[in-house]
Amino acid sequence: MATVISGKELSASMKAEMAEQVKAFPAKYGRVPHLVVVLVGDDPASVSYVTGKAKASAEVGIRNTTLRRSAEISEEELLALIDELNADDEVDGILVQLPLPRHIDEQKVIAAIRREKDVDGFHPLNVARLWLKEPCTLPCTPKGILRMLQRAGVEIAGKRAVVIGRSNIVGLPVAKLLLDANATVTIAHSRTQNLPSVTREADILVVAIGKPRFVTVDMVRPGAVVIDVGVNRDPQTGKLCGDVDYAAVEPIASVITPVPGGVGPMTIACLMENTIECFLKRQAK
């Protein structure tokens, strides 16, 4: 039986601590941090993520403004909105909910956000600074994963870590953070040959693919630490499930994260943390 890391509980305690911290801000700085979330279109998953971010902001005491725009908005109009938010002194964090409609260049929009207000940690300069080991805003999901590993007392240094997935928002940055924590890291992807033989070498297995229950028990070394980033709908039941076959893998893993209630809530808690960090850095200037 594995130790189950509850992202729900850990994020709740992080949010409670942040709420205490934020309470002192009006007296000290005259206001609380302000996060602006831009939602383009009405994709149900995006709407639910944005709602979750607004709810967490309320719990922490962060001011949250969600700006909804039609899926027909032009790239130019969206860039003009970002410019406005960049120039607004009362805005500390700007998050553009992804994905954007196909006629808008996501990278262009992300690069238009002032680095100091990039609470997602996706701006090219934040990405560059992560790879240069310079102080930067860390992307929320990888940051949350490392926090979970630390909280569970998982030793990372010297261990063999395998990350499945090489996206800019999860796979690559989490691999870099594990490397910085002195793991020996392998990044696997859709072109990896004999994936089970690679994943079975992992002391720490991070799975960020987006395929329901893709990682089966034969792909996991007994005693491994398994972090499931995936958020999928079970094709049969329609319920949320991860990329790992949890029921089969949990009995042989040493530590595992559930879906839902694992990495997802940690991502949001780290977004709150990033918003506070951006606010404090701007206050210090």
* Residues recognised as catalytic: 53, 97, 120
The span from the CA of 110 to the CA of 254, in Å, is: 38
First to last CA, the chain: 50
- From residue 101 to residue 140, what is the string marking binding to ligand NAP with x (rule CB under 6 A)? ----------------------------------------
Query: Smallest gap, in angstroms, from Cβ of residue 116 to ligand NAP?
Result: 23
Q: Is 189 in the site for ligand NAP (CB under 6 A)?
A: yes
> Nearer to ligand NAP by C-beta: 32 or 104?
104
Question: Quick one: which of 32, 73, 229, 270 contacts ligand NAP (CB under 6 A)?
Answer: 229
Binders in 254-283 for ligand NAP, by CB under 6 A:
263-264, 267
Q: Is 209 in the site for ligand NAP (CB under 6 A)?
A: yes
Residues in the chain: 285
Query: Smallest gap, in angstroms, from Cβ of residue 217 to ligand NAP?
Result: 17
Where does this chain touch ligand NAP (CB under 6 A) — which range of 55-63, 111-119, 126-134, 165-173? 165-173
Query: Smallest gap, in angstroms, from Cβ of residue 268 to ligand NAP?
Result: 8
Which amino acid makes up residue 74?
Answer: S
> Nearer to ligand NAP by C-beta: 122 or 279?
122
Q: Is 165 in the site for ligand NAP (CB under 6 A)?
A: yes
Query: Smallest gap, in angstroms, from Cβ of residue 263 to ligand NAP?
Result: 4
Query: Smallest gap, in angstroms, from Cβ of residue 62 to ligand NAP?
Result: 18
Question: Quick one: which of 208, 224, 244, 276 contacts ligand NAP (CB under 6 A)?
Answer: 208
Which residues form the interface with ligand NAP (CB under 6 A)? 141, 164-167, 169-171, 188-192, 195, 208-211, 229-232, 263-264, 267
